[in-house]
């Protein structure tokens, strides 16, 4: 009986050791530096300045850098929004009275993602109007700059959902200077964290 227990424990220990080795190997592969980005790109990554570790490194630097951060944003975005982040394009546009959140499919024949975008954006307009910014918090794993003020000033901000040929958009109209500043802060963060390249 003791021999059977010892063999079972040995087998379990070997299995756990193998799993741990595989995990460490996967982490090292994911953390391996790439030559795709220059120092400026890494420095401009909004996540690089946040969450300093005891060693002085940011969470992004300690956990795989800019690529790892963007991949994590996309993975959380896909889970929270319900559509592919790589087969669609996000745009965040600043206007004189607010801004626009625009999401469209890259392939005009992609009707499945187009419909998911439309459902999501219609829901976003309703949630934001109610002061609910839980989805951006989930996607970015932090409180998004501008969102607390937008929530507090919800009666001063209007959200209008509209369909586009390839997806949809939410037009945001601010009714005060304070609300406009919050909307622009929110949209600028989205541009940086999603790496959309939109003008700020």
The CA distances from residue 108 to 86, 105, 112, 167, in Å, are: 14, 6, 11, 9
Cα–Cα distance between 71 and 77 in angstroms, integer?
A: 10
Residues 6+ apart with CB under 8 A from 122: 161, 168
Q: What is the mean pLDDT of the chain?
A: 76
pTM above 0.75, yes or no: no
How do the domains of the chain map onto residue ranges?
87-194
Give tens-digit pLDDT for 146-198.
999 999 999 999 999 999 999 999 999 999 999 999 999 999 999 998 888 99
């Amino acid at each position: 009986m003791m021999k059977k227990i010892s063999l079972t424990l040995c087998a379990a220990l070997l299995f756990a050791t193998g799993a741990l080795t595989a995990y460490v190997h996967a982490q090292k592969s994911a953390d391996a530096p790439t030559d795709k980005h220059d120092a400026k790109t890494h420095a401009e990554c909004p996540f690089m300045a946040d969450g300093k570790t005891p060693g002085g490194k940011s969470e992004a630097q300690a956990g795989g850098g800019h690529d790892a951060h963007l991949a994590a944003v996309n993975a959380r975005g896909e889970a929270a929004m319900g559509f592919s982040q790589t087969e669609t394009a996000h745009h965040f546009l600043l206007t004189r009275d607010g801004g626009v959140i625009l999401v469209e499919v890259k392939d005009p024949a992609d009707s499945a993602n187009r419909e998911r975008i439309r459902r999501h954006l219609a829901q976003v307009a309703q949630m934001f109007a109610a002061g609910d910014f839980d989805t951006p918090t989930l996607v970015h794993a932090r409180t998004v700059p501008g969102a607390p003020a937008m929530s507090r000033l919800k009666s001063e901000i209007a959200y209008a959902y509209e369909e586009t040929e390839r997806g949809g958009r939410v037009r945001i109209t601010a009714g005060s200077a304070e609300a406009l500043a919050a909307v622009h802060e929110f949209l600028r963060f989205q541009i940086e964290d999603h790496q959309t390249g939109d003008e700020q």
